[in-house]
Amino acid sequence: MLPFKTSITIFIVEFLCSVMLQAFYAVSKYGIERAFLVGLGLLPVLLVFLLSYSISNEGVVVRCLAVAGISSIYYMSYATHTQGMLVFMLLATATTIALFLMLRVLLEYFVITFAILILMGIFQPDVITVFFEMSQYVTYITMYAFAGVAMIFITYSVEKYKREMEEKNELAQEALEAKGNFLANMSHEIRTPMNAIYGMAELLEKQDFAPEEKEYVAVIKRSSENLLSIINEILDFSKVDSGRIEISEEPYDMNELLQDVVTIIEIRMQDKHIRLQLEIDPNLPRGLIGDETRVRQILINLLNNAVKFTNEGSVTLEIHWEDESAIYNMDCGRLTIAVRDTGIGISQENIRKLFTAFGQIDTRKNRNVEGTGLGLAICKGITDAMGGEITVSSEEGYGSVFTVVLRQKIHDATPCNFTADRMEDPHPKKAFAPDFAAPKARVLIVDDNTVNRQVAQQLMKLFAVDAEAVSSGPEAIELIRDKKERYDLIFMDHMMPFMDGVEATGVIRDLPEDYARYVPIVAISANAIQGVEQQFLDAGMNDYISKPIRVEQLAIILKRWLPRKRILSTDGIDVTAGIRNCAGDISSYYELLRTYAHSDLSGELQRYFDEEDLPNYTVCAHSIKGASRSVGALQLADRAQELEEAGKRGDISFIWDHHDDVLSEYQSLIEHLSEDIAINDEN
């Protein structure tokens, strides 16, 4: 089962050895001229060897080698009068023919050569008896026949085994592909309705609910995130299990990574009466080179696991650094991560199950613990892929310690000093607030799911984008082909009946107009399988966003692909509140923004301040407050209200202390809005 070219090389080497032996015999017996004639016997085999590089049919090449070998061997034996030894030379060549595992060719070879040997025994007995008695020759032919039968049976068995292995490999590949398809479909089927749940929860977060109702919304969003985390674990394990996990090496900031991880874990610990303790080596370099995503994944999985199985006490994250630059003659070191908990612990007999798939032990005892049981198996796969190691020590009832050792290169040797630098009281991130709006942008959403179209359209309204939606690829193609609309950006769902997003994109790209070839198309997909993004890019799409759609991701995509002329800088403006003030009408909101930008009251406010005209100053501050609140500049409106109230009560000192800051904030907002609106109006 050697590679074909390797078998040919072995054949040539073996045949060359046979030629050299014959040549040495010819020199000693007949002289150099006869040895030269013997060497010519190598030419037919060399010719076939050269032709093998241009002939694709392997069976033809092997047959040609067999015929050339038989011809050359007989020619050389004839030139040196050693036909009696032909049986041994043919047997040696047969062993190399057998390497190709072509039963039919080997069978043909033995039939031809056996016939040659019998005919020689009948018609050329004189050349045979030079070396041994005829009875011995008959014995050698008989042995040759037995050897041939044995080789044929061995070749048949190996060829059969090879076929069976190939069939099993095909079945394994089909099973792997089926598993991949199942995971892709499962991902899509679950993420599609989750997109609606998560998207609606994000939209509800923007509403002015009572605290109890806000908590309900937060629970819905948190639960959907947990479900998404479980799906991601299954997909990650699929990558690990199939050996498709990829490790990249890029510089990363250890402080930022640790801050992210600690913040995530502390949020997840809010409902538990346990402490998170940090013991970070002060000599740990701030900048390392490795796979930041995978290191973060290991940390979160191990800490999550510790939090889940610890009901009281503490979870401790220990990180140690050992510089190994002198050992490896490069800037690198050993990163040791240890996660220690005071949880339920693990018995010795169950430790061996920990790093296996779905290896959550003692399921009755831990039935209240969420999770797939894949986290540690994923950690093991990632650690192995990074060339590291993971170990565990535990005692039932007294907690566990999981230790991961990785080798990382140094990018910035400055000590991270994480414990001193981190926020001591981290808080959950504030709700995302867009810093831009695009009320004149034309966006098309293509999705066969009604709820998903509604979610996407409502999410677009957070950016003041009045998106149009259609339910199929053909509808989108018709809109573009018939020149009914010119969109700045198209969001194309991947899995749609009759014509999926990839096919629809291909049709659009093939339309004759330049617009169709260059309009940005972003894939929306619930398929999170590795490599799918590249498939979308290869199909002519420009970018990819996964379901459920997160508003932060959407902001990045819109900023990246919408024309600059469509973007209004709204930093300091709650666009959702402003649109709500316009009864949800985005066109009216844009007109309100234009009016606000053109009604600049900063000059009047400054003049009244300089003239110490308190009544008019108060009225002007009131106008700024009202106009700002209308467009959604709520913080500025509150500050203007403070100036208004100070004017009403005659508090000159408060106005003196805060006037410049409020005026500067107002002027900056007006300036940016005016510039962007001027650009939008021109286009």
SS (H, E, C) 108-137: HHHHHHHHHHHHHHHHCHHHHCCCCCHHHH
Confidence band for 187, pLDDT divided at 50, 70 and 90? low
Q: Could you give the strand order of the β-sheet that contains 468-470, starting from the edge strand earlier in sequence?
A: 468-470, 443-446, 489-493, 521-525, 543-546
User: Is 436-563 the same fold as 245-421?
Assistant: no
Indicate whether 370 pLDDT > 60: no
Average pLDDT over residues 483-508: 88
Question: Which amino acid is located at 575 in the chain?
Answer: V
- How many distinct helices (H) and strands (E) make up the chain? 27, 14
Burial 299-328 (b: 16+ CB within 10 A, else e): bbbbbbbbbbbbeeeebbbbbbbeebeeee
Q: Which residue has the higher pLDDT, 328 or 610?
A: 610
Q: What proportion of the chain, given as a percentage, has pLDDT over 70?
A: 88
- Residue 372 pLDDT grade (very low, low, confident, very high; cuts 50, 70, 90): very low
Closest CA to 280 of 306, 252, 261: 261
Tell me which residue has tokens 């508003």: 551
Backbone angles phi, psi at 319, to 5 degrees: -130, 125
Indicate if the pLDDT at residue 294 is higher than 70.
yes
Confidence of residue 198 (pLDDT cuts 50, 70, 90): confident
- Please give the Cα distance from 111 to 119 (Å, whole number): 12
Specify the DSSP class assigned to residue 244: -
Mean pLDDT of 414-418: 85
How many CB atoms are located within 10 Å of the residue 168 CB? 10
User: CB neighbours (10 Å) of residue 440?
Assistant: 21
How large is the average pLDDT for residues 135-144?
Answer: 91
How would you label 564-593 residue by residue, b for 16+ Cβ within 10 Å and e otherwise? eebbbbbebbbbbbbbbebeeebeebbebb
Please check the confidence at residue 6 and state whether its pLDDT lies above 90.
Answer: no
Indicate the pLDDT class of residue 634, thresholds 50, 70 and 90: very high
Give the pLDDT of residue 80: 87
User: Band of the pLDDT at 550, cuts 50, 70, 90?
Assistant: confident
- Segments making up each domain of the chain, as ranges: 4-131, 245-421, 436-563, 575-682
310 DSSP assignment: -
Q: What pLDDT, on a 0 to 100 scale, did the predictor assign at position 235?
A: 63
Q: Which residues pair with 220 in a beta bridge?
A: none
pLDDT value, residue 239 = 61
Residue 484: the pLDDT is 67
- Which pLDDT score is estimated for 143? 93
Whole-angstrom Cα distance, residue 389 to residue 379?
10
Tens digits of per-residue pLDDT, 59-94?
898 999 999 999 999 898 888 888 888 888 899 889
Q: Which residues of 505-524 are buried (b: 16+ CB within 10 A; e: fewer)?
A: bebbeeeeeeebeebbbbbb
- What is the pLDDT averaged over residues 399-409? 93
Sign, CA dihedral 237-238-244-246, equals: negative
Which pLDDT band, with edges at 50, 70 and 90, does 407 fall under? Answer: very high
pLDDT band at 183 (very low <50, low <70, confident <90, very high): low
Fold exhibited by the domain 245-421 = Heat Shock Protein 90 (3.30.565)
Residue 213 pLDDT exceeds 60: yes
- What pLDDT score does 403 carry? 94
Region 457-466 average pLDDT = 89
Fold topology of 436-563:
Rossmann fold (3.40.50)
Is 83 in contact with 51 (CB distance < 8 Å)?
no
Residues 92, 18: contact at Cβ < 8 Å?
A: yes
Give pLDDT tens digits for 228-275: 766 666 666 666 655 566 788 889 988 888 887 887 788 778 778 888
